[in-house]
A and B are shown apart, each in its own frame.
Chain A
């Protein structure tokens, strides 16, 4: 096995495609974390987005409509979660687990009820997200194949890292958000509506997870497969911990996990059993979790 064959520009290009769903969902988790909401429903929201991206693209025969559908229904589902968690004061962990299980079941149910298929849904009417080739960069020797030729969601996700960073640290809304997360009583005293702030953050995570799902089902492939998020929402939760709820850190953490995701696929081509390559992203995530936990005690309030 020649290492240079594994670590080539194509691998890095595919890495960027694998980073995107994790990064987008992790940014959603980050926004929630910053206002004091521990969102573990990212997995379900992402799967929901992946499903409706395909549905939208199928009916409109247009990928952009698919992305909009994923985002819109992501927000709608997040609103349900928000109502349960904020006015009804439902337990976030139980609600999150229940929502993840609900979407795992609901997407399978809808797949049969709407299209009469089981397992996977593929149709020529479903339009995938095209690749964008950036004029000058495209022809650069090494950077070209890495940076160019992705779906627009990949580039949007990079832009969103900057947007979220600016929002959190350079705007008054960001200041209020961080206040709600760090000292909710103090923020409330200063006239910030803590509950609306948290509700808004959950809605934002719904939109971002919808985009993450759209990248999964229309960016990497052009079909929907049962349970295709396969734990990536949880990996996004860990990416957010590893990145310490900072957009730059979360980006770097997502790069690591996206790399683990794509190298698994690459190693398959070199004769390693799929079962071992499939394990790679989860093991890398667990090891990363262990390392950050050793370095910083107490990742969650009750540990």
Chain B
């Protein structure tokens, strides 16, 4: 008896060690909830009722419908989180996920509509084309940084605007489904639609692709030589360069891959949810930015992104439930999400790759 107790006590430090990465995020989440509660009190609402309604809105509902929509909304967030994490882990602050995703989605819709191939051949082409375009939109800032010294941080962010404007132009003037009266492309043929997993929900087969991307990224980053080099670049760029790693070649590849995953997310949304490109449909739910925040929350660890992405998605879908039940505007969800990241940053546990050495000096 006493032997088993002492044995299980010996496991405690290991459990504590395993839970350590959760400590910072949990403090941030708690802090954000306290600030959110204060905001609600100030605007005359009961925070306990609101948070309870948020929880129910995220996971309850008839036939777990709310949980299904949390997972469905979580898929593009997790995907965009992985896209961001790939670049962040190597120390490249890619803020251009939105543009990369939008152009990937537009490409997917155009290839799916206008390339005359039988569906079994067309589907992979749609996905690859979207990844190629998303990747190139992300490769370009890498080129500009390595060849000219244009900071990726700023070029990627600024490139979001032309991407959205261009996609908007295409569906307004060039490939618009005019009879529908909306700024959108025509609908893809039925054979190209991903099958729905649950009737009446947005849950579709594309989530398995997203899950596959998470697992593949996890494996590559944690278990392969390329992943090891990628992590080294993020931790200490100079050392890695002296260690003989071709930084630029790696950098091009990493930025391309980051954008390609973003393009893939765009394609999955087109094939699984809207079946066409709709102007603004991917920007207004903030998939790219919420995904980026989930990568920041967990220090860009792929399994962490999966959890954080689903968590942020739950906060958003919960926001809808909260608004229905308590009149607290659902936009509070966006405030909570950003507060969490601000509080993560405040804990100074986060290092942004190559920015690190210089910042230590201050």
- A contacts, CB < 8 Å to B: 36, 40, 83-84, 88-95, 97-99, 101-102, 104-106, 108-109, 112-113, 184, 230-231, 234-235, 237-238, 273, 275-276, 278-279, 282-283, 285-286, 289-290, 293-294, 296-303
Contact = CB atoms under 8 A, between A and B. Distances in A.
Given A238-B154, A279-B166, A294 B345 contact: no
A97 B144 CA distance: 22
A225 to B, nearest CB: 14
Contacts of A298: 149
A109 B342 contact: no
B95 A97 contact: yes
A109 B358 contact: no
Contacts of A286: 155, 158-159
18 contacts: A94-B344, A94-B350, A94-B352, A95-B346, A97-B296, A104-B338, A109-B334, A234-B154, A275-B169, A285-B158, A286-B158, A289-B155, A293-B148, A294-B148, A297-B149, A302-B237, A302-B353, A303-B151
B144 A293 contact: yes
Interface in B341-362: 341-342, 344-348, 350-355, 358-359, 361-362
Contacts of A231: 157-158, 161
Nearest to A93: B352
Given A89-B348, A98-B296, 12 more contacts: A36-B362, A90-B348, A97-B296, A98-B344, A102-B342, A279-B165, A282-B161, A290-B150, A294-B149, A296-B149, A300-B151, A302-B91
Contacts of B150: 289-290, 293, 299, 303
Q: Which of B158, B173, B292 has the most CB of A within 10 A?
A: B158
Interface residues of B, number: 56
Interface in B255-291: 289
Contacts of A97: 95, 292, 296, 341
B151 A113 contact: no
Interface SS, B side = helix
Nearest to B328: A113
A91 to B, nearest CB: 5
B207 interface: no
Given A91-B345, A93-B93, A273-B169, A113 B329 contact: yes
A113 B43 contact: yes
B346 A84 contact: yes
B154 A237 contact: yes
A18 B125 CA distance: 44
A97 B292 CA distance: 10
A254 to B, nearest CB: 16
Contacts of A36: 362
A116 B176 CA distance: 34
Contacts of B342: 84, 95, 98-99, 102
B217 to A, nearest CB: 21
Q: Which of A84, A104, A285, A303 has the most CB of B within 10 A?
A: A303
A93 B329 contact: no
A290 B342 CA distance: 31
A105 B329 CA distance: 11
B64 interface: no
Contacts of A101: 289, 293, 334, 337-338, 341
Contact of B157 (A95, A106, A234, A293): A234
Contacts of A279: 161-162, 165-166
Given A112-B331, A113-B43, A94 B153 contact: no
A301 B359 CA distance: 9
